[in-house]
Structure 1
Amino acid sequence: MRLAVSALLLALVATPAAAHFQEILPSDDVLPEGGTVTIDLVFTHPMERGPTMDMARPARVGVMANGAVRDLTPAIEEKKVDGKSAWTLSDTLQEPGAAVYFVEPQPYWEQAEKKWITHYSKVIVDSYASGEGWDAMVGLPVEIEPLVRPTGLWTGNLFRGIVRNDGKPVPFAEIEVEWVNDGSVTTPNEAFITQVIKADGNGVFAYAMPHAGWWGFAALIDGPKTKAPDGSEADSELGGLIWVKASDMSAASKLLIKQ
């Protein structure tokens, strides 16, 4: 009995903390004819397909397109994912150009790590497949500036970006990378769940996406000291996330043949 308990405690200590990702996923990354896009906001562990965490109503949700920002916070609706609170909205894009959707969530208290987590996340939707405006910056406290157009990418493409904090590059920033698992992939072990890369001295990073689907890039930095729910001193983590979709050439070719 003692050996079993000891083994369990050892396993708990050895298990790395699961990576949290603030998803902001659209129904598609390119709208060839413009139109309506659905945006889902879920706070979860994408590669492991959960667990999903309760997400409080976001502090702000918006979209930046053609140099103007629209507040979409009043349009969001709550929905349940695995019994937890998540959010969704629909938006119509009537003009060509990239629309940068973003969310500023309420800070989330992570009891296991004893810190507050705030992940500012964004995703780009290209209306009318314009190929324009995809590198526009929202001005989030922590934000990834894409150096590669993040729409219309093939599997295996190299995605590159700059991690910025208050507009300035973050040298050697750490970036966690996860794929939104559709259930088709089982990782060999925990080391494969979250990919970890570091930016160079100019805050620039690169990653080749090996599988079709949505990929999340989470640049993480230490936030200011703050207070825990019990009033004691606590750490905080700020994240800047960007979501990028990769598509298989073979799948696209089959779709064209069917059409």
Structure 2
Amino acid sequence: MHRLPIAAALFALAASPAFAHFQEIIPSADVLSDGGKVSVDLIFTHPMERGPTMAMAKPKRVGAFAGGKTIDLLGTLKEKTIDGKSAWSFEQDLKTPGAVTYFVEPQPYWEPAEKKWIVHYAKVIVDGFASGEGWTAQVGLPVEIEPLTRPTGIWTGNLFRGIVRAAGQPVPFASVEIEWINDGSVQAPNEAFLTRVVRADQNGVFAETLPRAGWWGFAALVAGPTAAGPDGKPAATELGGLIWVKATDMGPAPTAAPAK
């Protein structure tokens, strides 16, 4: 029902900031200096508004991509409840250096307020042993953001750049929605501040500065094929390619212990 057209040029731009949905895929850390276990949460929500959370059906696909190989993690998922709605989590043990890209393909979600299906292909990169390597590899998702800035080890205030790709090809002038996972410390003055929107250039390249520490989601939105809605009538499909990156504040240098 949701087969993606091959030619990227067939995609129309789609954006609706007032109803910005974000498929979160958030790890316990973006860099594991000594390797070890990383836990990842999958939540479908409105990050900047701190909700509401939408019920998330068990995904179609969840995996880890590293070294040109994909590991299926669907069988490791554990269901959890966030604000009374279903969400998911999984763990993996990183034993070798290098970047691992975790990704999710959710089931299509019907948004009754907008009368459309939403399918957000989301990913996040975790760097094992702080290697700084392997982060340029792409999973090959139908809609995907290729990072031009290394998506790990980002300081607050750094510029993040990426390329929007659909069916592997750059999407000229694609719309990219951006939200921060609000920890409750920020109240937006009005709705215009909830979702930042940038437009890619003719090569599908976009950029945005990250002004605050925490997790930032970039959602490149394109229009997918029309599909039957719950009432059997034709309905639009919003396809999203998401990437999550973490900004970290520069803290003071550790104080040396006094000599004894």
CA contact under 8 A between 2:17 and 2:195: conserved in structure 1?
Answer: no
Residues 7-26 of structure 1 mapped to structure 2, 5 A cutoff: 17-26=18-27
Deviation at 1:226, TM superposition (A): 0.6
- 1:94 paired residue number: 95
CA drift of 1:18 comes to: 2.0
AA of the residue aligned to 1:179: W
**1:66 shift after superposition:** 1.6
Cα deviation digits, residues 127-185 of structure 1 (max 9, x gap)? 00000000110000000000010000000000000000000000000000000000001
| Contact 2:103 2:122 survives alignment (8 Å) | yes
Task: Give the letter aligned to residue 112 of structure 2.
Answer: Q
Counterpart residue number, 1:198: 199
Name stretches of at least 5 consecutive residues in structure 1 with no aligned partner: 1-14
Q: CA deviation at 1:26?
A: 0.1
What code does the residue aligned with 1:90 have? E
Classify the secondary structure of the residue corresponding to 1:186. coil
Unaligned runs of 5+ in 2: 1-15
> Whole-Å Cα distance in 1 between the matches of residues 157 and 207 of structure 2?
12
Residue 11 of structure 1 is matched in structure 2 by none
Separation in 2, partners of 1:154, 1:22: 23
Relative distance call for 1:258 and 1:160 in structure 2 (3 A) is farther
Distance in 2 (alpha carbons) for counterparts of 1:186 and 1:237: 28
Range 154-163 or range 62-71, more displaced: 62-71
CA deviations on 1:32-64 (whole Å, 9 max, x unpaired) are: 000000000000000000000000000000001
Q: Quote how far apart the aligned CAs of 1:29 are.
A: 0.1
Give 1:63's aligned residue. Answer: 64
The whole-number CA distance in structure 1 between the counterparts of 2:94 and 2:18 is 39
- TM superposition score normalised by structure 1: 0.91
1:1-259 correspondence to structure 2 within 5 Å:
17-250=18-251, 253=252, 256-257=254-255
| Contact 2:176 2:197 (8 Å CA) reproduced | yes
For residues 128 and 169 of structure 2, the distance between their equivalents in structure 1, rounded to whole angstroms, comes to: 29
- Runs of 4+ in structure 1 deviating by more than 3 angstroms, as ranges, are 256-259
- Distance in 2 (CA, whole Å) between partners of 1:54 and 1:234 is 20
- 1:258, distance to aligned residue in structure 2 (A): 8.4
Task: Give the whole-Å Cα distance in 2 for the aligned partners of 1:195 and 1:132.
Answer: 29
**Is the partner of 1:145 in helix, strand or coil?**
strand
The 2-side partners of 1:247 and 1:258 are apart by: 22
2:219–2:242 Cα contact (<8 Å) kept: yes
SS where residue 17 of structure 1 aligns? helix
Q: C-alpha separation between the residues in 2 aligned to 1:156 and 1:80?
A: 33
Q: Which amino acid is 1:197 matched to? A: V
Task: Tell me: CA distance 1:32–1:16, structure 2 relative to 1, closer, same or farther (3 Å).
Answer: closer
> Matched residues in 2 for 1:105 and 1:44: separation?
13
Task: Give 1 or 2: higher helix fraction.
Answer: 1
8 Å CA contact retained: 2:17, 2:177: no
Distance in 1, Cα, partners of 2:35 & 2:173 = 38
Asked whether the 8 Å contact 2:223–2:237 carries over to 1, the reply is: yes
Which whole-Å CA distance do the structure 2 matches of 1:164 and 1:16 have between them? 21
Q: Deviation at 1:257?
A: 3.6
Q: Report deviation, 1:17.
A: 3.1
Q: Higher relative contact order by CA 8 Å / sep ≥ 6: 1 or 2? A: 2
Aligned length, in residue pairs:
242
Measured against aligned partners, the alpha-carbon deviations of 1:90-146 in whole angstroms (never above 9, x if no partner) come to 111100000000000000000000000000000000000000000110000000000
